[in-house]
Structure 1
Amino acid sequence: MIQGTGSNVGKSVVVAGLCRLFVRRGLKVMPFKPQNMSNNAAVTEDGGEIGRAQALQARAACVPLSVHMNPVLLKPETDTGAQVIVQGRRHGTMRAEEYGRHKAELLPKVLESFAILEGEADLVLIEGAGSPAETNLRSGDIANMGFADAADVPVVLVGDIDRGGVIASLVGTHTVLEPGERDRIKGFLINRFRGDVALFSEGEAEIALRTGWAALGVIPWFDRAGELPAEDALGLEGGGASGAALKVAVPVIGRIANFDDLDPLRMEPDVDLVLVRAGEPLPGDADLVLLPGSKSTIGDLAYFRAQGWDIDLIAHVRRGGRVIGLCGGYQMLGRTIDDPDGIEGAAGSVEGLGLLDVETVLGGDKRLTLTHGTHVASGASVEGYEIHLGRTTGPDCARPLLEIGGETDGATSADGLVCGTYLHGLFGADGFRAAYLGALGGVSSVAYEARVEAALDALADHLAACVDTDALLAIARAR
């Protein structure tokens, strides 16, 4: 189990790299994360959902996605509450305090999923969540040491030296853990080192001396990490290519979801991807405004208006600018969003942005499906996934964006400037992206999927050169 001294220390990327590394050594590897918190979800082949970080790790391990790779997924809907997904299916919505009281009840499901993967693999690489040093969260824990103890798995701890204070982070974690938990940790890794790693040899020795844990390697900064999908919205960065022909503006809404839709655009040299934060206006010179997915469409629509972005967007369209909405962003572009059952809060209907002549009714079962289709305007193939509640209908649906399995998806305004779709991942299709950007006056030069694969291979090579992988395997075999 790979745990970290804190969030965003690189656990997900390290696990992905190790998955690819050990697969290339002939092992069947499965990634696993007992509990994840993210609105960036992936759809499995059996119609469930898991955290997208585990989807990337499964890709690195060359295995199909399974709901058992992430049996508990928390999808924040408000600052204090989240939708709880258990083994790929919606379990309910809980406030943080309520979940804290009930999370231990989910441990049997977590252990069941782990046992299923363990029975199919030579090696299971487990990712922790946050830090085991958060002792206030230890009671009923299923994400870090609580799971490690229950499943009896050894732990390796990752610290991020780029943040500073890595010695204190690792030694401090040792200090606050219980004696049995300290013993469960067999070694540590230092991540994101810049410069000559030999300069940290004394630091490694100091940590080993104070903790009794084995030093398993210092991982230099990996420049190509930005070519891999980010798990956390905090890691979102724009593109910003100098001299790019196209400027694509993305308002960063409060509950942005499935934002890996942006990754292919971010990599394009001819695209300047501008992430617009709260308090900033939508840029007046944008060629395209992209409204991303949302975990809380009605709440994020209010957030959008609170920034004044609705006024900016109308002005953008008036100037002839293009707009595309994805999933929740598509719903926002319509005339109304109706929530008769109070799925997102109080029951009722709210006025949309009115740029598409469609209406959305939230309700019914969540649609979770992997999808292949065709872009109507260009004939280019698209593929991706749908993950949404609700149905959108109206006159503009007579001009669909996509054809999928004999049916249509999405809508386009009469003037052709505004469109929307429920399909996530369509910008990952090189042909569609080239056609779409070409219609805006830009050029696509990136083979996206091939680039992600190359980055995973490079990551595996990177870890092989600096991590004592034989020691890692010996620790795993000791279980």
Structure 2
Amino acid sequence: MTRTIMLQGTGSDVGKTILVAGLCRLAANRGLKVAPFKPQNMSNNAAVSDDGGEIGRAQWLQAMASRTPSSVHMNPVLLKPQSETGSQIIVQGKVFGQAKGRDYQRLKPHLLGAVLESFETVCMGQDLVVVEGAGSPAEINLRAGDIANMGFATHAGVPVVLVGDIDRGGVIASLVGTHTILPDEDRSQIVGYIINKFRGDVSLFDDGLSAIAQFTGWPCFGVIPWLKAAARLPAEDSVVLERLARGTGGALKVAVPVLSRIANFDDLDPLAAEPEVDLVYVRAGDPWPADAGLVVLPGSKSTIADLEEFRSHGWDRDLQMHIRRGGRVIGICGGYQMLGRSVADPLGLEGTPRAVEGLGLLDVETVMAAEKTVRNSRAHSLEHDVPLSGYEIHLGVTEGADTARAPITIDGRPDGARSADGRVIGTYLHGLFASDEYRRKLLSSFGIESGSQSYRGLVDEALDELATELEGRLSRDWLETLLG
């Protein structure tokens, strides 16, 4: 029989994703068949699963931690925000529709069947399934029709461990408050809690643990320190961009504009891991780094809206100055679309039907199309003559004179565009920089020597480090019960 456990948090960004990944790798290292599951995720960092649909990037990482193929059933409902109030809805890997927040609340109960069906599919043949919640179960205003936290746990009969983030403060109140506010049925699902992101001497928190036990009766399954290995793993959503460093002093400065609907920004992680690369995330109000050698425009969930925001910051002028200084530009997916002469959305797929002027750095035009391209791809860099691997998730068809100088081929067909002087390129291939040979050739063209280790190898090492750390910090009795 498959054992199950669900990690829910006292709030968002308490570290559930990393803890689930660490537990999955710990179980896999012990020889168990383990898989992750997240009923509902909200993120524009998506991945293409091994069975060919969209899932949250975090569940793709957790599948890697589990050493098992990723599946659309590991994240049956994925919400991809397109505006402040609305999202595209992905169900079992395919576009289901769009909805604003209030409309989605009415829709959620109708998605529970798909969630439970996917959970049953994931559980088949597994020794253990580790489930990740979303947000907090204490959001009782959203409890009716809930499929992300206790609504799922009570229907599926999955025991819950609550995760509290001590780094943000108020962890005792968060745990005790959650216990107080939950209805009896939900409270009975919780079997214990974990304190996460602790800094310093753990013994100083002994009185805190006693207080939590006094108010809740819940056992503590461990106090986890700040896990340094987490910084080497792809981030789940854009909230982490607020904490990313604004440069580390490497020889090659790479500037990345941060826009409101930025998507799949983990494309930049392999560059950030290079010791000679100074990756600078440029936010609204920040000065544009005049000494940047490369600008990367990452993906976007709403290309036209982000293009308008790009202009509103005056970054179009900064980008032109960058080009005049001899700098280079790489646009990926939505970033590629922005680099062209125009972007048109005649069907209103991103909102109101309209067309806008692009940045004009590539002689191409993009028209948004109803059919969405979602696939894992084998590719080849024509520029550097090295193999590539990655994935495509995009709406739109891009055509124009500069596509005759395609920088890569995907599954044998030309993809992307390159300017006549070769200093501006665009492509629909995500994962470009994770291809080690390509990254080395790219950095070499700037006179920079790349590190010798593979990026995927670094991620794999970080997952093993997480597993080791958790094994030493979590309750031995609880772990042995969980892992058998």
- TM-score band by shorter chain is over 0.9
Aligned sequence identity (%): 61
The Cα of 1:223 is off from its aligned counterpart by 1.2
Contact 2:349 2:370 in 1 (8 A): no
The Cα of 1:469 is off from its aligned counterpart by 5.0
Segments of 5+ residues of structure 1 without an aligned counterpart are none
- C-alpha distance in 1 between matches for 2:33 and 2:320: 52
- C-alpha distance in 1 between matches for 2:193 and 2:165: 11
The Cα of 1:137 is off from its aligned counterpart by 0.8
| Counterpart for residue 306 of structure 2 | 300
- C-alpha distance in 2 between matches for 1:241 and 1:433: 19
Residue 254 (structure 2) aligned to one of 226, 231, 248: 248
CA gap 1:147/1:476 in 2 versus in 1, 3 angstroms: farther
Contact 1:280 1:307 in 2 (8 A): no
- C-alpha distance in 2 between matches for 1:208 and 1:294: 45
1:275 is aligned to 2:281: yes
The one-letter code sitting in structure 2 at the alignment partner of 1:425 is: G
| Counterpart for residue 110 of structure 1 | 115
Superimposed CA distance per residue, residues 268-303 of structure 1 (whole angstroms, 9 cap, x where no aligned partner): 111110000112232111111110100000010001
| Counterpart for residue 186 of structure 1 | 191
RMSD: 1.2
| Counterpart for residue 56 of structure 1 | 61
| Counterpart for residue 212 of structure 1 | 217
| Counterpart for residue 467 of structure 1 | 474
- C-alpha distance in 2 between matches for 1:469 and 1:147: 27
Superimposed CA distance per residue, residues 1-27 of structure 1 (whole angstroms, 9 cap, x where no aligned partner): 100000000000000000000111121
Give the 3-state SS of the residue equivalent to 2:26 in structure 1.
Answer: helix
- Pairwise mapping of residues 162-201 of structure 1 onto structure 2 (< 5 A)? 162-201=167-206
1:42 is aligned to 2:47: yes
1:457 is aligned to 2:464: yes
1:79 is aligned to 2:87: no
Give the 3-state SS of the residue equivalent to 1:330 in structure 2.
Answer: helix
Superimposed CA distance per residue, residues 144-203 of structure 1 (whole angstroms, 9 cap, x where no aligned partner): 000001111110000011111111111111011011211110000000111121222221
1:233 is aligned to 2:235: no
Give the 3-state SS of the residue equivalent to 2:167 in structure 1.
Answer: helix
Residue 341 (structure 2) aligned to one of 331, 335, 344: 335
TM-score (norm 2): 0.96
Contact 1:241 1:270 in 2 (8 A): no
Contact 1:374 1:403 in 2 (8 A): yes
Give the 3-state SS of the residue equivalent to 1:162 in structure 2.
Answer: coil
- C-alpha distance in 2 between matches for 1:171 and 1:475: 24
Contact 2:333 2:428 in 1 (8 A): yes
Residue 318 (structure 2) aligned to one of 303, 312, 317: 312
Superimposed CA distance per residue, residues 380-435 of structure 1 (whole angstroms, 9 cap, x where no aligned partner): 11111000011111111111111222211111100111101000001001110010
1:357 is aligned to 2:373: no
* 231-240 vs 284-293, which moves further: 231-240
Give the 3-state SS of the residue equivalent to 2:378 in structure 1.
Answer: strand
- C-alpha distance in 2 between matches for 1:116 and 1:404: 32
The Cα of 1:468 is off from its aligned counterpart by 1.7
* 273-282 vs 15-24, which moves further: 273-282
CA gap 1:135/1:476 in 2 versus in 1, 3 angstroms: farther
1:95 is aligned to 2:100: yes
The one-letter code sitting in structure 1 at the alignment partner of 2:481 is: A
Residue 25 (structure 1) aligned to one of 16, 22, 30: 30
Superimposed CA distance per residue, residues 287-328 of structure 1 (whole angstroms, 9 cap, x where no aligned partner): 111101000000100010111101110111111110110000
Residue 295 (structure 2) aligned to one of 289, 294, 297: 289
Segments of 5+ residues of structure 2 without an aligned counterpart are 1-5
- C-alpha distance in 2 between matches for 1:431 and 1:204: 50
List structure 1 runs of 4+ shifted beyond 6 angstroms: none
- C-alpha distance in 2 between matches for 1:345 and 1:323: 28
Contact 1:18 1:460 in 2 (8 A): yes
Contact 1:245 1:442 in 2 (8 A): yes
Contact 1:281 1:308 in 2 (8 A): no
